Amino acid sequence: MNKRIVITGIGLTSPIGNNLSEFRKNLLEAKSGVREAEIRYMGKRPAGFCEFDEFKYQKKKTRRRGTRAGSIAIYCANEAIVDAGLNLNEVDKDKLGVFIGLTEHGNVETEEEIFQLHQNDLDYNLWSIHHNPRTVANSPAGEVTLNLGISGPHFTIGSACAGGNMGLIQGVQQILLGEVDHALCGGVSESPATFGIFAAFNAQGALGSHEDVTRASRPLCKSRNGIVIAEGGCLYHIETLESAEKRGAKIYGEILGYAYNSDASDFVLPNSERQIQCMHKALKLANLKAEEVDIVNLHATGTVMGDINEVKAVKAVFENDKTHVNFTKGHIGHAMGAAGALELAGNLPSFEDGLVHPGINVEELDPECAMKNLVINKAIETNDIDVVLNNSFGMLGINSSVIIKKI
């Protein structure tokens, strides 16, 4: 890390808020954004949908041509720029990059086109002329560059549910390489708008449910029975500390360390040893000891073995008297490629208010998920919070950890 890189803007949308202030308030108040939604072919299922103004930053014609993921990315990117106080007319747009992590992309639009094909006697001549640009993997990042007139590099990072962290990491690396001076980076997901992902998790027996739909997502709870699929987005504006200070920008925190690796062991079952290695690698880059980390945010999806394996890993690294542990998916469900970026953002205000938001919906803690300083069901106030570590893990065994320090 030969440059000090800081976060100066955050734009987000989630099932519990369309900006950081709303998001944080509802995290602290232990509110759930999970609701019952009608899923094509599958009936009513718990899901987390966002309610943001898709036309705040783009015209209806452009939205019809683009994608749901693109509309989320455009909203978040514009909000991040406004939050950062960045005047795009004063920035070299060749040196502004857009790097967005994804779990999957294009399924929403493709499923709709196939559905319409079957409503029209399989007349393929009615297939959308917009199919190709909608479904290429770089689409959400590309839509942001078109919307904002950004001419620097853009691409997406296919990294399953580690996508939010990986998008941020990619932005950091591009600045370190000197490819860009500023980056819009993080993750987005439009997953609940497609029935395919519901059907797939249902086939795996991994869809969460509860008689109270707001409790369908309950990580670490003894009665948990799977994930709740959600959408969302969170993009950060990042730049060097020197640039931020020159602009007089507010600073959310410094990106002190990061790491990513692969399990190389299973399609879906996480590997505790590789997760431990990933966290140690991030701590080493940040030049920190485990007890110097104040908050660890778990990936904690609400699957039985996923939660157990991750808690085992986190306990091996952070079982001390100082580090608090929380999680976010009880509030919003699993926002897939957006999860890591959203969950990190939700903890950054702790630097200012000294509060640790809780993980919610733990009716009875699974004994195999018990650990020191686990913050559940109610926020706590603690001493000064200076360091946050965020974990995000994904299918095919991709692991990521990001460390942010208060300045």
Write out the catalytic residue numbers.
161, 299, 334
Q: What are 17's strand-pairing partners?
A: 14
For residues 56 and 82, the answer to whether their CB atoms sit within 8 Å is no
Phi then psi for residue 402, to 5 deg, are -130, 140
- Identify the CA nearest to 337 among candidates 118, 157, 88: 157
Distance of CA 216 to the CA centre of its chain: 19
Residue indicated by tokens 């808020």? 17
For residues 239 and 182, the answer to whether their CB atoms sit within 8 Å is yes
| Identity at 380, one-letter amino acid code | I
For residues 401 and 385, the answer to whether their CB atoms sit within 8 Å is no
DSSP H or E stretch at residue 42: none
The token pair that represents 300 in the structure block: 């904690």
Helix intervals (H) in 228-376: 241-247, 272-286, 304-318, 329-332, 339-347, 350-353
| 150 SS3 class | coil
Dist CA 206 CA 200 (whole Å): 9
Q: What are 176's strand-pairing partners?
A: none
The token pair that represents 150 in the structure block: 């950004």
Distances (CA, A) of 278 to 63, 335, 392: 39, 22, 11
- Identify the CA nearest to 316 among candidates 371, 269, 393: 371
The token pair that represents 116 in the structure block: 């319409």
CA dihedral 83, 286, 298, 16 (to 10 degrees): 0
Sequence-ordered list of residues with C-beta below 8 angstroms from that of 366, at least 6 positions apart, any chain: 220, 221, 222, 224, 307, 308
For residues 12 and 233, the answer to whether their CB atoms sit within 8 Å is yes
| 311 SS3 class | helix
Dist CA 119 CA 112 (whole Å): 11
